[in-house]
Amino acid sequence: MENKKISRQGIMNILAAVSLKLLIAAGIFAAFGLLRAYSVETCLRTLEQETKEAKNNIYQRISLVQDNLKTLANIIGQEGLADYTQAKRVLSACENIDMASRLGILLPDNQILQQDGTLAAPMNGITFDALEEKGSFITNIEPDNVNPDESVLFCNVPIVTEGKTEGILFGVIDLKDGSEFMEVDTFDGKANLFVVDVQNMNFIMDTLHGDAKTSDVARGRRIKKGYSEEKLMQDFSQEQAGMTAYFSESVEEYLYTAYEPVGIQNWFVLLAVPESVVLKEALYTKKILFWLGFYEALMLLVYIWWDIIYTRKEMQAKEKMATTDLLTNLKNRNAYEQALGRYAQNHPDCLTCVYADANGLHELNNSQGHLAGDKMLQSVADALVEAFGQGKVYRIGGDEFLAFTETDENTAEESATKAKEKVSEAGYHVSVGTASGEKATAVTAIVKAAEKKMYEDKRQYYMSHGDRRKMR
């Protein structure tokens, strides 16, 4: 009958193992598609997050330029532009303001007061009256008033004195410098940052090519399947964030691109990462899946091995919990009772018992709380372990400790004295008694003798400290 039970159980185990393998195989096929999709999704989520951070960075940097210009405009406006003295002093003191590489003031006569104090004629057909109507604002790409071949941005802030606009303070943002400010250190440095003016579809910033371009950002580009040019243009028109993928002639592969409205003019920030970088994660996933398939054949053996080890450790842990005092990490009363049984059956030639009791535990608990009492017990335990060794000391009661050693009584007393001194250094006191017995002496008799000596030591302690209360 027993053999039949074993056979039936063996068949059930085999069926369970086969079923488990089939489930694992099915799971691997499902996981292949899921993990591949997840790897791409994770990449795109990272791309979206990096795009948001880039958008916030651009907005904050340019807003900081505007704020600094407003501060300078207020300083200049306090004295006005009657003789340009204050204005020249402020302009000459400011080599640049964050991203602004050059400053200037457009005067009501449409001349420009430059940082070196000279006057220059305006470029681009700008007029004081036109800028005054707009107030504080940032332009889109315009030719530089100093070097018309370069494309720059102008941050304009009116200089107001006694309620009247006397000039327009402007800062020039060189787009080449802007690309350096906005270097992207993500996706192994292979991501590229673009800022696009979607009103005229021009690049304002382009870390891929190193400067601003006036190329169309969407038309004529091959959009990857699953994305559409219409959705891109719709998001641009509605100032919504999104994702697309298009073929780049520069890198000769698709760029996965997340975009976010900047909050300045009609600008969008785009962060693009090559498809090969995205697929690198997918290829890594395939490699993982291959090893999962390889390990499928070993999983049952590993599981059996693990189950045996785990069960053994679990039994050891339970046994330790049953024989260990949680507060002091000493062996507990159960372990002590087991030790008595072992010594009764196999008594060594010389067995010494050290019986210890922490003095004043009850009073300490009442006056300072149980945490203080616990600390006292831990100090006593540490001292006894240091004197007699881990595994030889037991906590057999609330404040009672006991240690067995196979040394003679004199040696045990010396160790006990050292333990008492260490406890005293910690601010506590422990009473100790030791007793030895030969092979013919019962273990319980040795313990009783040691306990009796401990109580005598305790009596002497309370007598010397003027405490004649009954010993607990």
Span 296-319, average pLDDT: 67
The dihedral sign for the CA sequence 389, 391, 392, 397: positive
Task: Return the half-sphere exposure (C-beta side, CA atoms, 13 A cut-off) of residue 241.
Answer: 15
Q: What is the DSSP letter of 218?
A: S
pLDDT tens figures, 377-416: 999 999 999 999 988 999 998 899 999 999 999 999 999 9
Q: How far apart are CA 138 and CA 76, in angstroms?
A: 20
Whole-Å CA distances, 451 to 90, 230, 357, 441, 454: 92, 93, 9, 16, 5
Q: How far apart are CA 161 and CA 126, in angstroms?
A: 22
Span 40-52, average pLDDT: 84
What would the DSSP string read from start to end of 130-196? Answer: HHHHH-SEE--SEE-SS-TTSEEEEEEEEEEETTEEEEEEEEEEEHHHHHHHT----GGGT-EEEEE
Give the mean pLDDT of the chain.
Answer: 82
pLDDT tens figures, 85-107: 878 888 887 766 777 888 888 89
Structure tokens that stand for 204 in this block: 């304002």
Check residue 6 and give its pLDDT. Answer: 39
Span 177-199, average pLDDT: 74
Span 440-469, average pLDDT: 86
In single-letter form, the type of residue at position 460 comes to Q
pTM over 0.75: no
Which H helix or E strand runs over 268?
A: strand 267-274
Evaluate whether 403 touches 383 at the Cβ level (below 8 Å).
no
Structure tokens that stand for 223 in this block: 């959009």
Count of other CB atoms within 10 angstroms of residue 273: 25
Structure tokens that stand for 58 in this block: 């651009």
Which pLDDT band holds residue 264 (cuts at 50, 70, 90)? confident
Whole-Å CA distances, 235 to 69, 241, 243, 397: 32, 7, 10, 76
> Tokens 């970088």, residue?
277
Which pLDDT band holds residue 296 (cuts at 50, 70, 90)? low
Check residue 336 and give its pLDDT. Answer: 93
Q: How far apart are CA 290 and CA 297, in angstroms?
A: 12
